[in-house]
């Protein structure tokens, strides 16, 4: 069955245009002012096609990502990628949320397993995991193209028009197992891959070469840090992320600049130079785009996009 591009993101990828996506992280609040402001900032760069709206990241409770994605997209005009994880929902709830996304005009879902509840803010919450992330891809694809759920129940009226993405584990070992998992997701309907953040270009290139046989577009994730402390934290505490020693050493030296404005400018300049070169390399290796996870740090985003396009 031939797949369709419903979202602007999917249409650009289908047209072989190198795309940039951003990240939005709503909090445990009904006030989305800050997140909408960030979405507006991303949109104003002129280079961000869509932005992910996180779903209880790290199993920290937050406002519904479905509601947040709809309100952000409606009020800012920035296309959203609704993250949906199976940690908290059985298949009944997942069907409801996918139908809800379709009714609200959301055209992208990133299908995720999600972190176990015990690592988050409500460790006594019972994890669900009725489906795995590949089953979720299958469910979305069947609802979109067949008008049925996994149990064969038919959807009345129009079907949701949704493109579905999956997460890629740059540091997965063995990498052959990661490729098999992605092949399974591609087989049941995944449209694109977005990876976790990677700093080491050799790891990004290794990953792109390995997943080429999966046959679906890959967006490589990057994270320009705003400080040495942030870079160090990522390297120490974010699972699956390795920050090269040379990168950390450079940030350590910049952290010693006493003038705050000069230090900020130097870090921005370093991020721009580093990630422009990084993106140019992954483009050579066939990456379909870049997922920039610089939440709340707009300074380098526009210059990185502009520099990478030269």
On whether residue 1 sits in a domain, the answer given is: no
E-only strand ranges, 15-88: 19-24, 48-53, 79-85
On whether residue 195 sits in a domain, the answer given is: yes
User: Residue 2: what pLDDT?
Assistant: 79
On whether residue 292 sits in a domain, the answer given is: yes
Per the CB < 8 A criterion, the answer to whether 22 and 52 are in contact is yes
User: Residue 238: what pLDDT?
Assistant: 78
243, with CB counted inside 10 A (0-12, 13-18, 19+), is buried
Q: Is residue 99's pLDDT more than 70?
A: yes
Average pLDDT, the chain: 94
On whether residue 48 sits in a domain, the answer given is: yes
**Domain ranges, residue 236:** 8-308
On whether residue 2 sits in a domain, the answer given is: no
Q: Is residue 1's pLDDT more than 70?
A: no
On whether residue 3 sits in a domain, the answer given is: no
Q: Is residue 87's pLDDT more than 80?
A: yes
The domain that holds 237 is classified in CATH as 3.20.20.220
pLDDT classification of 236: cutoffs 50, 70, 90: confident
Percentage of residues in the chain having pLDDT higher than 90: 86
For residue 261, is the peptide bond before it cis, meaning its omega torsion is within 30 degrees of 0?
A: no
| Structural domains of the chain, count | 1
On whether residue 191 sits in a domain, the answer given is: yes
What is the average per-residue pLDDT within 115-141?
92
Alpha-carbon distance 275 to 209, whole Å? 20
Find the largest Cα–Cα distance for the chain. Answer: 64
Q: What angle do CA 78, 105, 190 make, to 5 degrees?
A: 85
On whether residue 123 sits in a domain, the answer given is: yes
Distance of CA 111 to the CA centre of its chain: 10
Q: 252-276: per-residue pLDDT in tens?
A: 999 999 999 999 999 999 999 999 9
Taking phi over 0 as left and psi of -120 to 50 as alpha, with beta for the rest, 6 belongs to: alpha
């Amino acid at each position: 069955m031939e797949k369709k591009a419903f979202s602007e993101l999917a249409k650009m990828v289908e047209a072989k245009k190198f795309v940039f996506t951003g990240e939005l992280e709503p909090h445990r609040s009904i006030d989305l002012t800050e997140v909408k402001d960030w979405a507006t900032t991303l949109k104003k760069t002129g280079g961000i096609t869509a932005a992910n709206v996180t779903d209880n990241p790290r199993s920290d409770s937050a406002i519904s990502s479905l509601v947040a994605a709809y309100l952000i997209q409606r009020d800012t005009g920035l296309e959203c990628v609704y993250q949906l994880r199976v940690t908290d929902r059985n298949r009944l709830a997942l069907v409801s949320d996918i139908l809800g996304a379709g009714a609200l005009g959301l055209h992208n879902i990133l299908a995720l397993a999600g972190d176990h509840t015990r690592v988050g803010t409500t460790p006594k919450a019972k994890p669900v995991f009725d489906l795995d992330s590949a089953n979720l891809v299958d469910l979305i694809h069947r609802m979109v193209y067949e008008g049925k759920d996994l149990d064969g129940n038919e959807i009345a009226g129009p079907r949701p028009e949704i493109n579905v993405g999956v997460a890629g584990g740059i540091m997965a070992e063995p990498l052959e197992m990661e490729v098999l998992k992605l092949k399974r997701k591609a087989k049941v309907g995944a449209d694109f891959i977005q990876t976790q953040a990677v700093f080491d270009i050799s790891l990004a290139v290794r990953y792109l070469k390995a997943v080429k046989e999966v046959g679906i577009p890959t967006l490589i994730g990057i994270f320009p840090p705003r400080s040495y402390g942030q870079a160090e934290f990522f390297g120490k505490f974010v699972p699956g992320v390795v920050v090269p020693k040379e990168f950390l050493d450079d940030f350590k030296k910049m952290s010693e600049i006493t003038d705050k404005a000069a230090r900020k400018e130097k870090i921005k300049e370093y991020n721009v130079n580093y990630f422009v070169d990084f993106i140019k390399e992954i483009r050579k290796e066939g990456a379909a785009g870049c997922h920039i996870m610089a939440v709340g740090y707009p300074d380098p985003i526009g210059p990185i996009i502009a520099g990478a396009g030269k």
